[in-house]
Structure 1
Amino acid sequence: MSTIFGLALILVSIYFLGQNIIFTTHYYSNWWQKTSATASVLALIAGIGSLTFWRREMGNFGWIFIAVGIILVFLNSGVILRSTSLWTFFVALLAFASGYQLLTSGRIRF
């Protein structure tokens, strides 16, 4: 039961932070913008896959792939970040930390 509640808290935190992130698509006028968008999706998929399935063998590479994917998304200029309130950020951070602890250990430690 605690793992389901932990997963729900993580999804709530993603919802609160995701309200202020807008992904846009546009016509690619240059070849490097299309390559950057494709590489960012592939890097994010590789990072999430390696963290999910091969955590012991490729855990560090997973985080590197995710970082490269996020950097390429911003280089592609397909992301608009709206301002968020401190309260929304605090609630999202608290929900994520609590959900992660429930998911991994089954209880919340402060």
Structure 2
Amino acid sequence: MSTILGLALIIVSIYFLGQNITFTTHYYYTWWQKTSATASVLALIAGISSLTLWRREMGNFGWIFIAIGIILVFMNSGVILQPTSLWTFLVSMLAFVSGYQLLTSGRIRF
């Protein structure tokens, strides 16, 4: 039951933060925008898979791949970040941390 609640809390946190993020597409692409979009998706997939599957061996590389993926998303300029309130951010981070702790350990430690 705690894993289902933890997963639900993570989904709620993604929903709260995702309300203020808009992804756009452009009609005219240059060669760099297509390359950075593809590279950002590949870097994010590599980072998430190395953090979840090979935590001991490649954990630090996972964070590097995720950072590169996020930088490439912003270089593609296909992301518009709208302002968010501090309350929404606080609720989202609290839900994410609580959900992650419930998902991994089965209890919430403060």
TM-score by length of 1: 0.94
Change (3 A) 1:28 1:48: farther
> Could you tell me whether the CA contact under 8 Å between 1:47 and 1:61 is conserved in 2?
yes
CA distance in 1, matches of 2:50, 2:94: 26
Shift of 1:29: 3.5
3-state SS in 2 of match to 1:22: strand
Q: What's the TM-score once normalised by structure 2's chain length? A: 0.94
Displacement of 1:91 in angstroms is 0.7
In structure 1, the residue matched to 2:90 is 90
Q: May I ask how many residue pairs the two structures share in their alignment?
A: 110
- Indicate if the aligned counterparts of 1:13 and 1:92 stay in contact, CA closer than 8 A: yes
Structure 2: any 5+ residue segments left out of the alignment?
A: none
* Aligned equivalents of 2:27, 2:65: Cα separation in 1: 26
- What is the CA–CA distance in structure 1 between the aligned matches of 2:79 and 2:90, rounded to whole Å? 22
**Higher alpha-carbon deviation: 29-38 or 6-15:** 29-38
Change (3 A) 1:41 1:28: farther
Q: Percent identity?
A: 86
Which stretches of structure 1, 4 residues or longer, exceed 4 Å deviation after superposition? none
- Cα distance, 1:27 vs structure 2: 2.9
